[in-house]
Amino acid sequence: MFYRRKSYIIKSGFVEEFNILFNEINLPNQLKYGARLVGRWMKPINDETTEVFAIWEYDSYDEIEDNIRSDQDHLARIKAWFEKYGGRSYVQKEYILEMKNEPLYSTVEE
């Protein structure tokens, strides 16, 4: 089993749009290929910024990610979402202040 924590620091005024991307586009596609969402949360940092993070579980991370990256319909939906807000580079520069994709390791002996 592989676990990862995907986290973002985003401008608070963009949280609603960012959550739409997750709920309508990313979540269904991750689930389609076998990823399991442990949970997704957000926490205000201050008036201007919010941390949004999810923990995912995978049987085969590389296989699932390869399938997602080769799903042309999914890539088109992602591109359209970014274009709606000014393009990928604009969104990443203006709204997403930090992004991390981190593996998680269990401390429980099995």
pLDDT, tens only, 48-58: 999 999 999 99
Other Cβ atoms less than 10 A from the Cβ of 10: the count is: 24
Mean pLDDT value across the chain? 95
CB atoms within 10 A of CB 68: 17
Q: Given a cut of 90, is residue 110 above it in pLDDT?
A: no
pTM: 0.88
| Between residues 79 and 1, the one the model is more confident about | 79
**What pLDDT band is residue 70 in, cutting at 50, 70 and 90?**
very high
Helices (H), the chain: 15-20, 27-32, 61-69, 72-84, 88-94
Reported confidence tier of residue 109, pLDDT bands at 50, 70, 90: confident
Which helix (H) or strand (E) segment holds residue 49: the answer is strand 49-58
For the residues 76-83, what does the mean pLDDT come to? 96
Domains, the chain, ordered by start: 2-104 (3.30.70.1150)
